[in-house]
C-alpha cells in the first residue's frame, strides 16, 4: 500500500484562534535580544558615568587632631589630599555639645609642588561659645 503524506489538520475557523507564524516568532525573538542588549549597554554606560563621578573624590580630608578647646576657640589639625600642583579651600566648623554651630571658616590650602599631593594644616577657629568638637566636612578646588 502506498504511503500518502499526512495532511495538516483543518480546524474550524474562529474556534481555536489563529496559528502562529514561525517567521514572526523568530523576528520577535531577535527584537527581544536586541532590546535586552540595549538595556544592558545603557546600564553599563550609566554605571561607568556614576563611578567616575562619585568613586573617589579628588579632594580628601583626614582629621588628625582637635585640640585647645577653650571658651572662644578650637584648634583643628587636618591633612588634605588634592591633585598635584593645585590648591584647595576647606571648610572648618565648630559645634557645641547641643550640636549648635558656633564657628565656621574657609581655609585656603596653598598649591604644592608638581609632585606634592598632601598637605597638613593646623588652623585655630574662633568661636562664639565653648565648642566640644571641630570638624572639616570637606574641601574643594581653591577659590
Smallest CA-to-CA distance from 134 within 77, 90, 82, 85 is with: 77
Mean pLDDT is highest, among 13-22, 50-59, 120-129, for 120-129
Averaged over 99-123, what is the pLDDT?
Answer: 93
Q: What is the pTM of this model?
A: 0.64
pLDDT over 80 (residue 105) = yes
Smallest CA-to-CA distance from 129 within 65, 66, 74, 90 is with: 74
Q: Are 92 and 125 in contact, with CB atoms under 8 Å apart? A: yes
- 130 and 90 in a common domain: yes
Residue 108 included in any domain: yes
Averaged over 78-82, what is the pLDDT?
Answer: 95
DSSP H or E segment with residue 104: strand 101-109
Q: Give the range of the structural domain holding residue 46, as residue numbers without chain letter.
A: 11-55
Residue 2 included in any domain: no
- 68 and 44 in a common domain: no
Residue 5 — very low, low, confident or very high, per pLDDT cuts 50/70/90? Answer: low
Residue 50 included in any domain: yes
| CATH number assigned to the domain comprising residue 90 | 2.60.40
Amino acid at each position: 500500500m502506498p504511503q500518502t503524506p499526512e495532511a495538516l489538520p483543518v480546524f474550524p475557523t474562529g474556534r481555536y484562534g489563529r496559528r502562529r507564524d514561525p517567521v514572526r516568532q523568530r523576528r520577535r525573538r531577535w527584537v527581544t535580544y536586541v532590546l535586552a542588549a540595549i538595556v544592558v549597554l545603557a546600564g553599563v554606560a550609566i554605571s561607568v558615568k556614576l563611578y567616575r563621578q562619585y568613586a573617589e573624590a579628588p579632594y580628601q580630608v583626614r582629621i588628625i587632631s582637635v585640640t585647645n578647646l577653650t571658651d572662644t576657640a578650637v584648634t583643628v589639625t587636618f591633612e588634605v589630599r588634592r591633585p598635584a600642583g593645585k590648591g584647595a579651600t576647606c571648610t572648618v566648623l565648630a559645634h557645641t555639645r547641643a550640636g549648635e554651630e558656633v564657628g565656621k571658616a574657609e581655609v585656603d590650602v596653598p598649591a604644592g609642588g608638581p609632585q606634592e599631593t598632601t598637605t597638613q594644616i593646623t588652623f585655630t577657629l574662633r568661636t562664639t561659645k565653648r565648642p566640644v568638637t571641630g570638624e572639616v566636612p570637606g574641601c574643594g578646588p581653591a577659590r
